[in-house]
Amino acid sequence: MATPEKISTNSDGSLNVPDCPIIPFIEGDGIGPDIWRATRAVIEAAVEKTYGGKRKISWLKLLVGEKGYEKTGDFLPDEALKTIEANVVAIKGPLTTPVGKGIRSLNVAIRQKLDLYACVRPVRYIETVPSPMKFPEMINMVVFRENTEDLYAGIEWASGSDEAEAVADFLKKEMGVDLPPLSGIGIKPISPANTKRLVASAILYALENGFPSVTLMHKGNIMKFTEGAFAQWGYQVAKERFADQTITEAELWDQYDGKAPEGKVVIKDRIADMLFQQVLLRPDEYGVIATPNLNGDYISDALAAQVGGLGMAPGANIGDTCAVFEATHGTAPKYTGMDKVNPGSLILSGAMMLDYMGWKEAGTAIRDAIQAAIKARRVTYDLARQIEGAEEVKCSEFGAVIVEQMG
């Protein structure tokens, strides 16, 4: 067996993945250890069955979250962040947000410190999973949510604080803007550079994965210089970097009678509230969606609900130097240690990770096996309570059923 080696990044952004890559993992808090155990078993089986022992992952445990705090007195030790950066690809379970201990959210801190600017959330229907939609099989979208700025940058001041009063004073004196007394204040920065790198990564993903369109979701009719600018900069980067591979929706109708030429991705934009309607009414018209942070938070959970809920929604946070794949739900503390919850979100995130590493056959093996396990109706409590005739199995058993389905 090959010796464990680090993954590295080439100057064009592509990855060098050895046969035995070192992959750091964060188990997570609450239900994290349960879903991680099941996930690890499924990933290892998929890699083993797909590559017949030629490839194997060498896991490296990182102490982050409550375990990090117990051992090092730090919820997010610098060492862990450095290890993720050095190894390029990592995977994590959910982390508790420590209350009153200085960090707003560990998950947000990891994204910001590692500059993981794109939160990527694929949303696709898995047959038999109960969905509130009439035709859930029409849903195949991937949300690219900007991760580092917008209202989530954390620039805000409490009502009545010296800082809020100073900002209110400045706005009144210098800008002639009068705020209601005791306003809490938050700042919404959206920049051209951060918008363009996010939209460029969404366009690249659409091109590489055969999606027909990238939709810029924004609220620019109201917030012209932030959300409106997001859409303008999105169109700009499409012209600057992908002129031969993209057309706008206007060009689609003016020059091509509504039929996109082979190989071209259509760039369109939609006002956020309208897009919420359209993904319900005409989901097949949307593929990749690129959007600022707050919109992205809302639309990705809403889309996950359309295909059956957060328990099965995978996600990744991707930057130019590294990527962290993660369960999209939280730590569900009431189920800690019960071996009960659905590990599907982390398992599907593991499949995304394998795709990202270029081990696509193994990623596909996992998705096919999850589909087969659910069709066999041997599922965890959350799905069992909704699927008629289902047999409820534990978290670890669900992992075993998935492995069984790989043949």
* Active centre residues (catalytic): 152, 219, 273, 297
* Of residues 160 and 333, the one with the C-beta less far from ligand NAP: 333
Closest separation in Å from C-beta 366 to ligand NAP? 16
In the block, residue with structure tokens 């010296």 = 162
Residue with Cβ nearer ligand NAP (81 or 190): 81
**Secondary structure letter of residue 153 according to DSSP:** G
Question: Which residue, among 177, 182, 180, 179, has the nearest Cα to 159 in the 3D structure?
Answer: 182
Nearest residue to the partner ligand NAP, using Cβ: 330
Supply 226's token pair: 């932030």
Contacts with ligand NAP by CB under 6 A lie at 31, 35, 94-97, 107, 311, 326, 329-333, 341-342, 345, 382
Shortest separation between residue 90's beta carbon and ligand NAP, angstroms: 14
In angstroms, give the least distance from the CB of 344 to ligand NAP: 7
Dihedrals φ, ψ of 175, to 5°?
-115, -5
Residue (226 or 342) nearer to ligand NAP, CB: 342
Residue 393 CB, nearest approach to ligand NAP (Å) = 13
314 and 122 Cβ atoms separated by less than 8 Å: yes
Cβ distance to ligand NAP smaller for residue 248 or 371: 371
Helices (H), 265-331: 272-281, 293-306
When computed from its CA atoms, the radius of gyration of the chain, rounded to whole angstroms, is 22
**Structural element, H or E, at residue 225:** none
Residue number, 64 or 275, with CB nearest to ligand NAP: 64
Conformation bin of residue 19: beta by default, left when phi > 0, alpha when psi is -120 to 50: alpha
Residue 90 CB contacts under 8 Å (≥ 6 apart), including other chains: 23, 24, 25, 26, 62, 84, 322, 323, 324, 325
Which of 94, 122 has the CB closer to ligand NAP? 94
Task: Provide, rounded to whole angstroms, the least separation between the CB of residue 302 and ligand NAP.
Answer: 15
Q: How far is the CB of 330 from ligand NAP (least distance, A)?
A: 2
Cβ neighbours for 150, distance < 8 A, ≥ 6 positions apart: 188, 189, 190, 226, 292, 293, 294
Q: In degrees rounded to 5, what are phi and psi of residue 336?
A: -55, 130
